[in-house]
């Protein structure tokens, strides 16, 4: 064979291979991302299937109706592409019994829940290891224990603009409206170590109405930090007095802001700070809370071992006065 011709053919073949590889690379690089899905469901089985197959950016729409079961959401959304579960008030998630199961268990990150009702379950919505999730505009009530539990290192969760009511129908001592973190006695089962806190940090609870919660409207446990309770209304929250549930809000974590809340009817105090464990219950700030009526004790009652509590000076409607510590 002519040596020059053979060399030229080799060069052309090599060039063709490079062009083909480049075309393949461009084709692969140009592949569009899968489009976010919008799925409308009308039955419990359809809802379970949609939750199981959800991925970042997807939306699940609930038709009006009753969805009976124990629903779970384990897929992860992202901050830029959360997974949305949305419905009207007439879309109702229920286990059918105040002594049985969680209506909705969220273990994935970045879920947005909006609009629908959760009713008649042992617990309403429980978040475990779920970060960046948001509960907004829900109706959660008529449950055997707590309406919402944020636990197991769930971070930066928001509970907002929701009606939370009629909790603790079976177990008044566990009937919190929103329960943040875990008591030290439960750390071993939640985190795997009796000395490791449940760091459900950065939880924001805002714009909600808490009505007839047998335990506190909001119970913030030791081991959690840097959350906020803002612009909520409490009506007969913590009414049972069982297991020391005698206030609207009980703060045992560190570095919380409690601001702009109001309400009526308490067993003892509107807000309390407790030291359930050394090093916790510290550095919490109370400011701008007003329209406090039907409170026989203090607006803010601070356990004497709590350090760094700030209570902003302001008039109060609490019969016992603003606080048992000096305001500033």
Q: What is the pLDDT of residue 32?
A: 54
Q: What is the pLDDT of residue 119?
A: 98
**Judgement on whether residues 251 and 269 belong to the same structural domain of the protein:** yes
* Encoded tokens for 260: 């702009």
Would residue 328 count as lying in a domain? no
**Judgement on whether residues 7 and 44 belong to the same structural domain of the protein:** no
User: Which residue range forms the structural domain that includes residue 22?
Assistant: 1-31
What domain count does the chain have?
2
How many CB atoms are located within 10 Å of the residue 26 CB? 9
**Judgement on whether residues 79 and 106 belong to the same structural domain of the protein:** yes
pLDDT digits 0-9 by tens, 204-237? 999 999 999 999 999 999 999 999 999 999 999 9
Would residue 84 count as lying in a domain? yes
Q: What is the pLDDT of residue 5?
A: 37
**Judgement on whether residues 144 and 174 belong to the same structural domain of the protein:** yes
Could you identify the residue written with the tokens 């335990």? 215
Confidence of residue 244 (pLDDT cuts 50, 70, 90): confident
The CATH number given to whatever domain includes residue 122 is 2.160.20.10
Q: What is the pLDDT of residue 21?
A: 43
**Judgement on whether residues 169 and 84 belong to the same structural domain of the protein:** yes
pLDDT at 95 over 90: yes
Average predicted confidence (pLDDT) for the chain: 92
Q: Which residues, including other chains, have CB under 8 Å from residue 177's CB and lie 6 or more apart?
A: 146, 147, 148, 164, 165, 167, 208, 210, 213, 216, 217, 218, 237
**Judgement on whether residues 22 and 128 belong to the same structural domain of the protein:** no
**Judgement on whether residues 72 and 96 belong to the same structural domain of the protein:** yes
pLDDT digits 0-9 by tens, 9-58? 443 343 344 334 444 343 445 455 567 999 999 999 999 999 999 999 99
Task: Compute the average pLDDT of residues 71-100.
Answer: 98
CA 94 to chain centre: 18
Confidence of residue 243 (pLDDT cuts 50, 70, 90): confident
* Its pTM surpasses 0.85: yes
Give the C-alpha distances (Å, rounded to integers) separating 11 from 3, 16, 18, 19, 119. Answer: 12, 9, 11, 12, 73
Would residue 135 count as lying in a domain? yes
**Judgement on whether residues 142 and 200 belong to the same structural domain of the protein:** yes
Would residue 238 count as lying in a domain? yes
Alpha-carbon dihedral sign for residues 237, 175, 202, 256: positive
**Judgement on whether residues 117 and 252 belong to the same structural domain of the protein:** yes
């Amino acid at each position: 064979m002519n040596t020059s011709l053979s060399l030229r053919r080799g060069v052309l073949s090599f060039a063709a291979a490079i062009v083909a590889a480049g075309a393949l690379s461009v084709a692969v690089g140009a592949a569009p991302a899968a489009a976010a899905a919008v799925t409308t469901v009308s039955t419990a089985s359809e809802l379970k299937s949609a939750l199981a197959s959800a991925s970042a950016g997807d939306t699940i729409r609930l038709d009006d109706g009753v969805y009976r079961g124990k629903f779970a959401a384990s897929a992860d959304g992202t901050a830029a592409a959360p997974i949305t579960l949305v419905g009207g008030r007439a879309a109702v998630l229920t286990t059918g019994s105040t002594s049985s199961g969680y209506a909705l268990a969220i273990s994935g990150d970045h879920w947005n829940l909006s609009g629908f009702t959760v009713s008649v379950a042992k617990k309403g919505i429980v978040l475990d290891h779920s970060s960046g999730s948001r509960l907004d505009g829900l109706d959660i009530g008529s449950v055997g224990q707590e309406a919402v539990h944020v636990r197991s290192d769930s971070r930066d969760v928001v509970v907002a603009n929701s009606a939370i009511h009629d909790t603790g129908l079976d177990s008044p001592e566990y009937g919190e409206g929103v329960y943040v973190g875990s008591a030290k006695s439960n750390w071993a089962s939640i985190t795997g170590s009796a000395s490791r806190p449940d760091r459900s940090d950065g939880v924001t609870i805002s714009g909600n109405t808490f009505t007839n919660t047998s335990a506190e409207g909001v119970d913030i446990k030791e081991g959690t930090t840097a959350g906020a309770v803002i612009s909520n209304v409490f009506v007969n929250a913590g009414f049972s007095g069982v297991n020391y549930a005698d206030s609207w809000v009980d703060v045992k974590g560190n570095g919380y802001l409690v601001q702009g809340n109001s309400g009526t009817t308490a067993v003892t105090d509107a807000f309390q700070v407790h030291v359930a464990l050394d090093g916790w219950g510290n550095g919490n700030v109370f400011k701008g809370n007003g329209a406090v009526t039907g409170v026989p004790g203090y607006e803010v009652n601070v356990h004497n071992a709590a350090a760094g509590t700030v209570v902003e000076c302001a008039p109060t409607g609490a019969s016992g006065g603003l606080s048992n510590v000096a305001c500033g």
